[in-house]
């Protein structure tokens, strides 16, 4: 295990890619990770390198072990690593969790801005961001989250990271889910009863090249509880109303906790166009307990021009049941 001046030399070299150096040398990934970080945190005076070390620990699944160490946890909590991510690594009854929540309480807006930036840096990392547009996005999303917290009678501190997809991080405040990330594969498609009814869908420019931050708000549902048959039945329901779902899988569906409606303190009825959706197509209205699509990317109006090879098995079954 390298906990000697060789490690310190790497940390003191501003030209070194710390994460790559650590990942390329297996001796830095052995069992004595606590000793290595204790040494590095004591000796290294470069905050950027400390942040790189913490990112290395996160990437290699060491961060949970480190943050729950009393000696190291305080340093990690007071680094630049996203607090919304750290919350998921500790028990809610632990001292580390109390420290995280205390830091959030001291500056709620900073916590939210950090969380927004975390989503943007993850899903739009290779674009040239317009700083004035970024500031506007931060202000808009902060207002949206405050309104959601008020509606849910919940402290905005309790914003949680509950998932991550191909295009966005998935957050929750009580019963509301908030997705923040990049533009969708299919940002516009016909509204329909087989997706979780959206409360908000908004695309906001973040660069001079029309790169987009996409935010979506809807109700929370139960996940990891559906079957392959549930997937097929939803695929079939969409086909029956002239649509085709090109990403049908269990991880993209769940079960409704409540009937598929908008739940807001006043009688909010967003139009299809305000949700960036095409005109609603009628179908069977889904109730609490019914399977439903929670990741609505890759829904299209059916056309013979679409290459259906990706969903060939489901499409063959659908056609067989319909025509034979």
**Whole-structure pTM value:** 0.91
Nearest-angstrom CA–CA distance, 314 and 222 = 24
Residue 13 has a pLDDT of 64
Q: What is the DSSP string of 121-134?
A: HHHSTTS---HHHH
Nearest-angstrom CA–CA distance, 250 and 97 = 32
Residue 44 has a pLDDT of 78
Give the chain's residues under pLDDT 70: 1-16, 18, 20-31
Instruction: Record the tokens describing residue 226, joined without a space.
Output: 């559906």
Nearest-angstrom CA–CA distance, 173 and 142 = 13
Helix (H, G, I), strand (E, B) or coil at 285: coil
Q: Do residues 234 and 253 make contact, with C-beta atoms less than 8 angstroms apart?
A: yes
How far is CA 180 from its chain centroid? 6
Q: Is 292 exposed, middle or buried (0-12, 13-18, 19+ CB in 10 A)?
A: buried
Specify the pairing of strand 160-164 against strand 168-173: antiparallel
Residue 32 has a pLDDT of 72
Residue 167 has a pLDDT of 94
- Strand partners of residue 182: 213
């Amino acid at each position: 295990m390298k906990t000697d001046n060789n490690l310190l030399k790497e940390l003191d070299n501003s030209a070194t890619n710390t994460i790559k150096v650590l990942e390329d040398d297996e001796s830095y990934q052995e069992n004595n990770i606590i000793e290595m970080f204790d040494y590095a945190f004591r000796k290294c005076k470069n905050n950027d390198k400390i942040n790189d070390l913490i990112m290395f620990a996160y990437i290699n699944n060491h961060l949970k072990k480190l943050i729950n160490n009393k000696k190291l946890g305080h340093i990690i909590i007071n680094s630049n690593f996203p607090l919304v991510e750290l919350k998921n690594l500790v028990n809610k009854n632990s001292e580390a969790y109390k420290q995280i929540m205390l830091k959030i309480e001291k500056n709620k807006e900073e916590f939210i801005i950090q969380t927004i930036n975390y989503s943007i840096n993850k899903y739009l990392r290779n674009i040239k961001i317009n700083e004035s547009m970024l500031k506007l996005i931060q202000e808009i999303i902060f207002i949206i989250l405050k309104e959601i917290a008020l509606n849910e009678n919940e402290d905005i501190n309790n914003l949680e990271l509950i998932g991550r997809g191909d295009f966005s991080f998935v957050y929750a405040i009580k019963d509301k889910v908030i997705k923040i990330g990049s533009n969708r594969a299919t940002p516009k498609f016909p509204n329909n009863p087989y997706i979780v009814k959206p409360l908000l869908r908004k695309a906001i420019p973040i660069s001079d090249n029309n790169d987009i931050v996409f935010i979506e708000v809807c109700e929370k549902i139960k996940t990891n509880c559906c079957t392959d048959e549930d997937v097929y039945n939803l695929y079939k329901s969409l086909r029956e109303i002239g649509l085709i779902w090109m990403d049908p899988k269990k991880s993209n569906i769940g079960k409704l906790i409540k009937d598929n409606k908008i739940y807001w303190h006043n009688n909010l009825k967003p139009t299809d166009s305000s949700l960036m959706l095409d005109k609603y197509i009628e179908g069977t209205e889904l109730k609490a307990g019914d399977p439903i699509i929670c990741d609505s990317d890759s829904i299209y109006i059916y056309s013979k021009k679409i290459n259906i090879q990706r969903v060939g098995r489901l499409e063959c079954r659908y056609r067989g049941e319909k025509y034979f």
